[in-house]
Structure 1
């Protein structure tokens, strides 16, 4: 599986395979497991999803770092990829982490679709 390299590619692939709603469900499930009060509606626009997810990740980094780490663990975002990010700018870091979260969630949905 080749992971999408941009947000637009990810959403385009999810739409093409008609798995966008499954992506939202997976995000909701993992955030619930991480005890983060966030529940996206299945019909949320991709741009709104990206914006709201970015906002939540930014706040977690700033205010609830332990919850942020727990979320990354539950979603299973690659520690190596996180360590490769530049942490000097929190806003940019949260944007990059948001995309890594979306990539990992997409990977789970894609694998479940292909192998079930």
Structure 2
């Protein structure tokens, strides 16, 4: 599996393989498991998805850091990848972490589709 390098590539792959709704479902499922009040509608536009996810991660980092760490644990985002990010700019950090979250969720959806 070749992981996407950008948000646009990820959305393009998900759409081509008709897995965009499953990606949204997986995001909703993991946010619910983390007790974070975020529920995307299955028809959410990719631009809205990116914006809302970024906003949510930013707020978690700023106001609810323990919940943020719990979310990363539940989604299984690589600790090594998160530590490699620049933590000086919280806005940029939250954008990068949002993409890591989407990439990990995409992996889960892709593998489920491929091997089930």
- Name the TM tier (shorter chain): over 0.9
- The aligned residue for residue 112 of structure 1 is 112
Write the mapping of 1:16-95 to structure 2, written as runs, cut at 5 A: 16-95=16-95
Which consecutive segments of 4 or more residues in structure 1 shift more than 2 A?
Answer: none
Aligned residues: 116
**Equivalents in 1 of 2:64, 2:14: separation in Å?**
30
Unaligned runs of 5+ in 2: none
Report the aligned-residue RMSD.
Answer: 0.2
Shift of 1:50: 0.3
Unaligned runs of 5+ in 1: none
Cα deviation, 1:64-95, whole Å, max 9, x if unaligned, reads 00000000000000000000000000000000
**Equivalents in 2 of 1:5, 1:61: separation in Å?**
23
